[in-house]
């Protein structure tokens, strides 16, 4: 079963610049495992060491937030579209650090 995954600009270095990549899996966890075999390092930008979605990333299945669909256990079907978006935070003159953390280039605290 094939699923289309929309990749944000900040993570396209893991997909060779591709905006959309195919993947397979019955759940979001299965899809991310499949994507890791095709695009090493991508899963680590989305999932914590504890095995949960990073708080600074939003993932949607067909425009539904996976946090309300079972998170990593969200069920997928053939033809689904999974969209990955970095969270937006902060205000004028503030940087949230979310984009830097998603990209893996956050600066050390106090630096």
The predicted model gives 102-106 an average pLDDT of 52
pLDDT score for 91: 57
d(CA 73, CA 31): 10
**Where is pLDDT greater, at 95 or 1?**
1
**Is 104 a residue whose pLDDT tops 80?**
no
Domains and CATH numbers, the chain: 3-103 (3.10.20.30)
CA-atom Rg of the chain in angstroms: 14
pLDDT of 30-85, one tens digit each?
999 999 999 999 999 999 999 999 999 999 999 999 999 999 999 999 999 999 99
pLDDT score for 110: 41
**Beta strands across the sheet bearing 20-23:** 20-23, 3-6, 81-86, 57-61, 64-65
């Amino acid at each position: 079963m094939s699923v289309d995954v929309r990749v944000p600009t900040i993570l396209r270095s893991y997909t060779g610049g591709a905006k959309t990549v195919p993947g397979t899996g019955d759940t979001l966890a299965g899809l991310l495992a499949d994507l890791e075999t095709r695009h090493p390092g991508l899963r680590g930008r989305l999932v914590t060491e504890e095995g949960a979605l990073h708080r600074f990333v939003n993932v949607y299945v067909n425009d539904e937030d996976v946090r309300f669909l079972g998170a990593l256990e969200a069920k997928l079907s053939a033809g689904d579209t999974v969209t990955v978006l970095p969270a937006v935070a902060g205000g004028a003159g503030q940087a949230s650090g979310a984009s830097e953390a998603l990209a893996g280039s956050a600066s050390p605290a106090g630096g």
